[in-house]
Amino acid sequence: MRLEGKVAVVTGGGSGLGREVVLAMTREGASVVVFDQNAEGAQRVADEVSAAGGTAVPHTGDVTVEGNVADAITRAQDELGGFHIIHNNAGVQLERPLHDTTVEDWDWVNTVNLKGVFLGCRDAVRAMRTSGGGSIINTASILAHTGDPFLPAYTATKTGVLGLTRAIAVDYAKDGIRANCVSPGDMETPMIEKYFAATPDPVAARAEMEGAYPGGRIAQPREVAQAVLFLASDEASFVSGTYIIVDGGLTAKTY
């Protein structure tokens, strides 16, 4: 029960990594607002938590719209009794080389991945400064530390998320606020399934990706969720302004 008595907001909580984070947090005693643009997904995860004896409420919103995350935080405070943790996890990916990336492409990825995290962090900081602090966890990526020729916009946004996180950690430590990133490699999520499905040979695409990893597989979202859980907990009380790479050793190798 590492999060007993804590209240969290998880964006993108209706599927993939967000879902696993919600499940992990509620198993450890937290109450969670499941924030997602997909109302059915948010409700489904909240129902899953309730069936397991935990506490979660669905909240439909768009992280790119000012006030939407603030509304979720207010709901956490009013309905669940507080606000201590936010996991800014909602994001999108666009596979396109830079020379084929349009201004509209660039703006879309930046609006969701960077502006959305900015709004989530800003609204969380405003609430946490008056309530004794808390933990901010942002989903970055191994591409915040490396490069990919087919994901320039995504890479830029995830690098920006890491920089923003560091600035928050320095600026608001005196308020009892910690800010960290989790930087996953590829995971078994709807996003990666969509990528495989868009390739000429999904089986070959999967085999190529898995073959790049030292262990011959990509991550299960629950494995990454454990890193988020640690950063959210008091076990990480002196961990701030940094990141945890969860990639099975991918970025540790040269070839």
In this prediction, residue 244 carries a pLDDT of 98
In this prediction, residue 252 carries a pLDDT of 95
Burial class (CB in 10 A: 0-12, 13-18, 19+), 217: middle
In this prediction, residue 117 carries a pLDDT of 98
Please report whether residue 1 resides in a domain: no
Q: How far apart are CA 205 and CA 197, in angstroms?
A: 9
* CB 3, CB 28: distance < 8 Å: yes
For residue 46, give the nearest of 94, 92, 79 by alpha carbon: 79
Q: How far apart are CA 218 and CA 81, in angstroms?
A: 37
* CB 206, CB 200: distance < 8 Å: no
| Residues 26 and 136 occupy one common structural domain | yes
In this prediction, residue 243 carries a pLDDT of 98
What angle (nearest 5°) sits at the alpha carbon of residue 124, between those of residues 60 and 223? 70
| Residues 210 and 140 occupy one common structural domain | no
Q: Which helix (H) or strand (E) holds 49?
A: helix 39-51
In this prediction, residue 190 carries a pLDDT of 87
* CB 137, CB 180: distance < 8 Å: yes
* CB 244, CB 227: distance < 8 Å: yes
| Residues 83 and 205 occupy one common structural domain | no
Active site residues: 154
Q: The domain containing residue 21 runs over which residues?
A: 7-184+220-246
Please report whether residue 231 resides in a domain: yes
Q: How far apart are CA 15 and CA 154, in angstroms?
A: 20
- Going by their DSSP bridges, the two strands 55-60 and 85-88 should be labelled as unpaired
In this prediction, residue 198 carries a pLDDT of 84
Please report whether residue 138 resides in a domain: yes
| Residues 117 and 192 occupy one common structural domain | no
In this prediction, residue 194 carries a pLDDT of 86
Q: Please give the structure tokens belonging to residue 188.
A: 């078994």
| Residues 64 and 180 occupy one common structural domain | yes
DSSP H helices, 81-234, are 103-110, 116-128, 152-172, 190-197, 202-212, 221-232
| Residues 37 and 138 occupy one common structural domain | yes
Domain count, the chain: 2
37: domain CATH number is: 3.40.50.720
Q: Which of the residues in the chain have pLDDT under 50?
A: none
| Residues 191 and 172 occupy one common structural domain | no
| Residues 102 and 199 occupy one common structural domain | no
| Other beta carbons less than 10 A from residue 133's beta carbon | 14
| Residues 82 and 204 occupy one common structural domain | no
Please report whether residue 53 resides in a domain: yes
| Residues 80 and 191 occupy one common structural domain | no
| Residues 151 and 209 occupy one common structural domain | no
Q: What is the 3-state secondary structure (H, E, C) of 61-87?
A: CCCCCCCHHHHHHHHHHHHHCCCCEEE
Please report whether residue 145 resides in a domain: yes
| Residues 43 and 169 occupy one common structural domain | yes
Q: How far apart are CA 232 and CA 91, in angstroms?
A: 20
What angle (nearest 5°) sits at the alpha carbon of residue 234, between those of residues 228 and 236? 60
Please report whether residue 251 resides in a domain: no
